[in-house]
Amino acid sequence: MAIEQELKKSSIHKEFQNLLDQDFKDRKLKENEIIKATVTEITKNYIVVDCKAKMEGMIPIEEFKNDEEFSKLKVGSQIEVYLERIESFKGEIIISREKARKMKAWKKMEKVFETQEEMTGYITGKVKGGFIATVEGLPCFMPSSQIDVRPLKKIDHLMNTPVKVIATRIDKNRGNVCVSRRAVLEKSKNAEIVEALKNIKEGDVVDNAIVKATTDWGIFLDINGIDALLHVSDLSHGRVKKPADLVTIGQKLKVKITKIDEKTNRVSASIKALTEDPYENIEKKYKVGEFYQGEVTKIMDYGCFVKIEDGIEGLIHNSELDWTNRNVKPSKVLSVSQKIKFKIVNIDKDTKRISLSYKATLENPWDKIKNKIGEAVEIKINNITDKAIFGELIESKLSGMLHYKEISYEENIDNLKKFKKNEVLKVKIIEIKDDKIRFSKRALEKDPLDWFNENKKKVGSVITTRIHEVLKTGVKVSIDKEKKLIVTIKKADLAKDAADARPEVFSPGNALDAKIIELDLKARRIKLSVKAAQIDEEKSLIAKFGEGATKSGATLKGIFEKAIGKKQKKEK
């Protein structure tokens, strides 16, 4: 009897096992997938669900507390869970509601990233460079620049509140998602702008453009809900220093729509387009070469701007401010708001540029100085360079140059070392050309070269000189008694015979007859030759005593002695 009962139990057990195995076989549960489960019990710490597995699964209640789903949850409710393991080493089923939400959210995120569909998210925290936005249960990164169309100082009003976002980047490998609230706002704003732009067109005049903000380069306007830019160059036909000085926030302006960019939906407006361009007929109002009155409006390093009339300005370049200094600092001559007289130098209608001259209204010192060429004047040394002295006339402040060759007739560059800055010199003006003055200090003294005219000496004349200095290549001789005329006679010109042309045979102080073979007083070039003088003297003696004197064997020395002897007899 016991055996029969045992066999019966075994048969029932096998039948139940077969039915159970068949049931599990039909369920087809797979790990790492989302499955549907039915809530069978709600405890204090867990939600118990039936997953049609060998046993019920348990999900920590923390996975539901931050979700509205928990308040609606009851026994019999169906939920989606993520199946991690069908059976753990303990024989339990491992499931997760949170992972199911994240996986579902990720799949949805991939789909909406392609379609750029808007989603609802919650900004739940702040991190470096941005914020954490939870979208469909998936934590996403929102950069600070993407939270609004304008920088926000505070975002407290956006924390843990539903906001519309768009996925801007997805990294599948890292599982990272970037979202943007700004893209949604701009998309909505662009739609509004496109609709609003249908009501305006280029050329329209708007009376109620409201000033929203100002910058150094323009003004931002609100034209019936559309943002527009009024560039600083479109405020006036004249120069505008700072737009903020002309308008206030909230002020209404009358403007003309000058451009609408259909691609970017940007609108440009203009105030100056409402008035006639003052440059249109400028040649009828103002003439080049005439004098007019104006007001200095701006001073720059390169010159001053002068208001001629409303919308018309001209530039006085710093070279047109002062006669004596072409690079004068403008602020040292004129000041802002100063009313001045000026001369119009040039008008370029195409580029809207007018060149003015202030110095043309002042007395020109160059007109006076032109009559003083050859006169002695005093200068103050401003600068000493390697080859010249630069100084300004004490009387007129005009600057000029004193070259080292004009310091003395010696033309010695070392003479520059004798002078110092701010020293006053007496010089003579020798040339004025292209507003440049040349001075000469030696011109105040007698020119040693005048000796040739005074003594009626010219090329071909033989003069007696004194050896001043003996050189290896020749000798230096002084022509005049004052020793201001020093000329070098080269070795080749010292004697007819090479043996007598050695410089070492000469001594300082010895007299030396030389012939002038070159004399250019203008170029201050003098060339003497002892050799030429000897050749001329030889020709003279031969001519006097006959051509046959040298042919008969007589020497030049004998001819000289014979001539000297005859001369002595005559004297007796």
pLDDT at 111 over 70: yes
Q: Residue 42: is it exposed, middle or buried by C-beta count within 10 angstroms (0-12/13-18/19+)?
A: middle
Distance (Å, whole) CA 192 – CA 149? 15
Q: Which pLDDT value is given to residue 17?
A: 61
Q: What is the pLDDT of residue 553?
A: 42
pLDDT confidence tier of residue 344, bands split at 50, 70 and 90: very high
* CATH 2.30.30.100 fits domain 116-187: no
User: Looking at residue 153, what is its pLDDT?
Assistant: 80
Residue 68, pLDDT above cutoff 70: no
Q: What's the pLDDT score for residue 403?
A: 93
Domain ranges of the chain: 23-115, 116-187, 199-274, 282-361, 365-444, 450-551
CATH match for 23-115 among 3.40.109.10, 3.30.1490.270, 1.10.287.3510, 2.40.50.140: 2.40.50.140
Report the topology of domain 365-444.
OB fold (Dihydrolipoamide Acetyltransferase, E2P) (2.40.50)
Contact (Cβ atoms closer than 8 angstroms) between residue 312 and residue 237: yes
On average, the pLDDT of the chain sits at 82
The reply to whether 23-115 and 199-274 are identical in fold is: yes
Above pLDDT 70, what percent of the chain? 87
CA 503 to chain centre: 65
**Angstrom distance (rounded) from CA 381 to CA 402:** 10
Predicted confidence (pLDDT) at residue 270 exceeds the cutoff of 60: yes
With a CB cutoff of 8 Å and minimum separation 6, the contacts of 396 are: 324, 365, 368, 369
**Does the global pTM surpass 0.85?**
no
Can you give the pLDDT at residue 336? Answer: 92
pLDDT of 192 strictly over 70: no
Domain spanning 199-274: CATH 3.10.129.10: no
Q: Is the pLDDT confidence value at 291 over 70?
A: yes
Backbone angles phi, psi at 424, to 5 degrees: -100, 130
Q: Is the pLDDT of residue 80 over 90?
A: no
In angstroms, rounded to a whole number, what is the distance separating the alpha carbons of residues 315 and 134? 62
Please give the pLDDT value at position 172.
75
Check whether 388 has a pLDDT greater than 90. yes
Least confident of 102-111, 139-148, 217-226: 102-111
* Average pLDDT for 54-66: 75
Query: Residue 383 has what pLDDT?
Result: 92
Q: State mean pLDDT over 54-78.
A: 75
Q: Strand 399-403 and strand 462-470: pairing?
A: unpaired
Task: Supply the pLDDT for residue 401.
Answer: 93
Nearest to 271 by CA among 214, 230, 219, 224: 230
Average pLDDT estimate for 46-58: 79
**pLDDT, average across residues 174-179:** 84
Superfamily name with CATH number, domain 282-361: Nucleic acid-binding proteins (2.40.50.140)
Amino acid at 46: Y
pLDDT band at 57 (very low <50, low <70, confident <90, very high): confident
Task: Indicate the burial class of 186 (C-beta count within 10 angstroms; 0-12, 13-18, 19 or more).
Answer: middle
Closest alpha carbon to 394 in 332, 444, 439: 439
Q: Report the alpha-carbon angle 77-79-83, nearest 5.
A: 140
Taking only the tens place, the pLDDT of each residue in 220-268 is 888 877 788 888 888 887 777 788 878 888 888 888 888 887 777 788 8
- Assign domain 450-551 to a CATH class: mainly beta
Q: What is the pLDDT of residue 13?
A: 62
Look at residue 547 in the predicted model and tell me its pLDDT.
57
DSSP run (H or E) holding 376: strand 376-384
Per-residue pLDDT of 497-537, as tens digits, reads 888 888 888 989 889 899 999 998 888 889 999 988 888 88
Cα 340–Cα 342–Cα 347 angle in degrees, nearest 5: 135
Over residues 168-176, the mean pLDDT reads 81
pLDDT greater than 60 at residue 552: no
Q: How confident is the model at residue 12 (pLDDT cuts 50, 70, 90)?
A: low
The answer to which of 50-54, 201-205, 230-234, 496-500 has the lowest mean pLDDT is 50-54
Instruction: Name which residue leads in pLDDT, 94 or 375.
Output: 375
At 351, is the pLDDT very low, low, confident or very high (cuts 50, 70, 90)?
confident
Q: Which residue has the tokens 């402040």?
A: 397
Q: Is the pLDDT of residue 24 over 60?
A: no
Q: How far apart are CA 494 and CA 530, in angstroms?
A: 5
> Is it the case that residue 550 has pLDDT exceeding 50?
no
